[in-house]
Amino acid sequence: MQEYERKQLLERVEREGATVGADIPDTIEVQGEEIDLRTFVFEIKRRETVPPGERDRVEQAKRNLRRERNERLERIEEGDISRERGEELARSIIGIDRALNALENLGPTDIEREQQAQQAADTKRWMSFLKKALGQEDANNARRGL
């Protein structure tokens, strides 16, 4: 593969919106294991919520997919491969990205994280209010010379 071809493939893979219209591969080999990726993603996405036991499985799958994506990207960047093999790797990387996007955007798990973050922020604001109301914040600031 020529260097300019390698750069074109890398640019295509990293382009924002590269996954638009891309399909999730039916199957993919990740670290020597064949995975029915499309079935897995659609199985997880069709549920209203992801059960706690499944969350670990989904997180592990995302880690494995990211690792596989990086390995395939390195093969394009550094490997002595043919143009056809480079194209094949680029398509598979874009498919992996599409699957990762679908798994990253699982509503209920993101909502739960947002809820926890909101709860922590509310608690922090409440504690700050109480400190001010009880005069503790002014006393702390006076001790620090503020």
pLDDT at position 126, please? 87
Encode pLDDT of 15-47 as tens digits. 887 778 788 888 888 878 888 888 888 888 887
Residue 39: which residues within 8 A CB-CB, separation 6 or more?
26
Encode pLDDT of 51-107 as tens digits. 777 788 888 888 999 999 999 999 998 878 899 999 999 999 999 999 988 888 765
Above 90 in pLDDT, residue 130? Answer: no
Task: Show me where the domains of the chain are located.
Answer: 3-105, 109-146
> Is residue 72 within 8 Å of residue 100, measured between CB atoms?
no
Question: What is the DSSP secondary-structure string of 59-73?
Answer: HHHHHHHHHHHHHHH
pTM score, whole prediction? 0.66
Instruction: Give the residue, 103 or 111, on which the prediction is more confident.
Output: 103
Question: What is the DSSP secondary-structure string of 113-138?
Answer: HHHHHHHHHHHHHHHHHHHHHTTHHH
pLDDT at position 138, please? 55
- If you ran DSSP here, which 8-state letter would residue 1 be given? -
